[in-house]
Amino acid sequence: MATVAAPPVERRSNAWALLPFGVLALVALTIGILARTQVTPDGSAQGTYIELLFTSTIHMKAWLATAVALFACAQLFTAAWIFRKLPFDKPAWVNPVHRWTGRLAFLVSLPVAYHCIFRLGFQGDDARVVVHSLAGCAFYGAFVAKVLVVRMKRYPVWVIPTAGGLLFTALITIWYTSALWFFTTIDAGL
């Protein structure tokens, strides 16, 4: 039996990449502006702390951010598998694991983001905090852009890995400037 070749997939032009990356910028800017309005004139944060199963809110945020970073590493590994960058065959469970680790990373990040945006706000007192605030805004913008790229399909092949790479970079920058800094400088306890 002769196999029939599938017709080539018609891809969107490179100009279409402006849409998700424009959305990234818009979401990141909106989050930054919203977070900036949450700081009182004297520079203190508004509201009270959320305490769950941890001794303090900062401990909760550091550990949840670490969980999100681990989910992001799983995302990176499974994405490499999906794009055939690993030297072994891809089993059927890789795609669902990739989707679910992404969903879990997003969900676990929400309590951290809530506290950062609505309780602390965008701050610019020192370089680490500025980088952290900017990366936090960029993370959610990159997340929306990546979901948009995945859902709209037919983008040039470089767009999905670029969006995913930006998302991963923003997240690891957030973790490095917050949780890792906290664990190595302040306290590693629960």
- Give the whole-angstrom CA distance, residue 75 versus residue 13: 27
The structural domains of the chain, with segments of one domain joined by +, span 57-185
Report pLDDT for 122. 78
If you average pLDDT over residues 90-111, what whole number do you get? Answer: 93
Looking at per-residue pLDDT, the higher value among 2 and 84 belongs to 84
Q: Of 19-28, 62-71, 163-172, give the lowest mean pLDDT range.
A: 19-28
Closest CA to 71 of 167, 180, 186: 167
Using one digit for the tens of pLDDT, what is the confidence trace for 110-165?
888 888 887 777 777 889 988 998 998 899 889 988 988 888 888 888 888 999 99
Q: Is the pLDDT of residue 190 over 80?
A: no
Please give the model's pTM, rounded to 2 decimal places.
0.72
pLDDT digits (tens, 9 = 90+) for 44-60: 544 444 454 677 788 88
Q: What's the pLDDT at 40?
A: 58
Query: For residue 47, what is the DSSP state?
Result: S
pLDDT tens per residue across span 1-38 = 566 666 677 777 888 878 888 888 888 888 777 777 65
End-to-end CA distance of the chain: 63
The helix/strand/coil state of 167 is: helix
